[in-house]
Amino acid sequence: MRERDGLRAEEALFTIPDKDGIPITLTQERWEDHILVGHPAMAKHLEAIRLTISDPDYILQSDKRADTRLFYRLGVTEGKYSNLYVVVVIRYTASEGLVRTAYLALKPIAGGEVLWIRPRP
């Protein structure tokens, strides 16, 4: 596979801009071999991942990696998961981002700097 700004050019499941217009890609490999294996509850929530990237409630800086941010969105899943946050972890290069994982959480994690919060109407 060829390199693209430090990220392997793998088959994209989708590419969507984040709230700042930076293109974010979720690869087929990452979806099938990591997210669905490690977080099977996400299987029916691909659209929730897209919405979390494009229209998050919170964005936190990772406390482990300077090039990584965590996007949170509440209320985009249905059924027993409706009160959970969708969390999408994105690693950035100079010009794009790559989804590293996605999972469900009760609340945003403590420790990472809050970079952005959705303004209240």
pLDDT per residue rounded down to tens, the chain (121 residues): 334 444 455 799 999 999 999 999 999 999 999 999 999 999 999 999 999 999 999 999 999 999 999 999 998 888 888 899 999 999 999 999 999 999 999 998 878 899 999 998 8
Q: Which of 51, 62, 2 is nearest to 24 (CA)?
A: 51
pTM of the model: 0.90
In sequence order, what are the residues at sequence separation of 6 or more whose Cβ sits closer than 8 angstroms to the Cβ of residue 21? none
Q: What is the pLDDT of residue 9?
A: 54
Return the domain boundaries, the chain. 10-117
